[in-house]
Amino acid sequence: MKATYIYLCIAIIFTILLSGCLYPESEKSKNQIPNEAQLDMMQSAVDTYQKQTQGLLPIKTKEQDTPIFRKYLINFKKLLERNIISDIPGTAYENGGIYQYTIIHADKDPTVKLIDLRVTDAIRELNIKLNMYRNEHLYPPFGKRISEGVFKIDYEKLGLDTEPYVVSPYSHKNLPIVMDTEGNLYVDYRIDLTAALKKYDHDYEEGEDIRYLLAEHSPFVPSYSLPYTIKNGEPVFLQDH
Q: How far is CA 222 from the centre of its chain?
A: 7
Q: CA angle at residue 211 from 209 to 215, to 5 degrees?
A: 140
Instruction: Please spell the DSSP secondary structure of 175-209, one letter per residue.
Output: EEEEEETT--EEE--HHHHHHHHHHS-----TTS-
Residue 165 DSSP code: E
Q: How many CB atoms lie within 10 A of CB 160?
A: 14
- pLDDT at residue 14, as a whole number: 40
- pLDDT at residue 32, as a whole number: 61
Collect contacts of 159-165 with beta carbons under 8 A, ≥24 apart: 159/129, 160/129, 164/122, 164/126, 165/122
CB 154 within 8 A of CB 133: no
- pLDDT at residue 31, as a whole number: 57
Q: What is the pLDDT along the chain (241 residues), one digit of tens a residue?
A: 444 444 444 444 443 333 334 334 444 445 566 788 999 999 999 999 999 999 999 999 999 999 999 999 999 999 999 999 999 999 999 999 999 999 999 999 999 999 999 999 999 999 999 999 999 998 999 999 999 999 999 999 999 999 999 999 999 999 999 999 999 999 999 999 999 999 999 999 999 999 999 999 999 999 999 999 999 999 999 975 4
3 state SS of 152: strand
- pLDDT at residue 18, as a whole number: 38
- Provide the sign of the torsion angle of the four alpha carbons 165, 148, 212, 74, taken in this order: positive
| 210 burial type by CB count under 10 A (0-12 exposed, 13-18 middle, 19+ buried) | buried
- pLDDT at residue 17, as a whole number: 39
- pLDDT at residue 34, as a whole number: 72
- Phi then psi for 167, rounded to 5 degrees? -85, 125
Q: What distance in Å separates the CA atoms of residue 209 and residue 67, rounded to the nearest whole number?
A: 13
Beta-bridge partners for 167: 174
Q: What distance in Å separates the CA atoms of residue 80 and residue 87, rounded to the nearest whole number?
A: 7
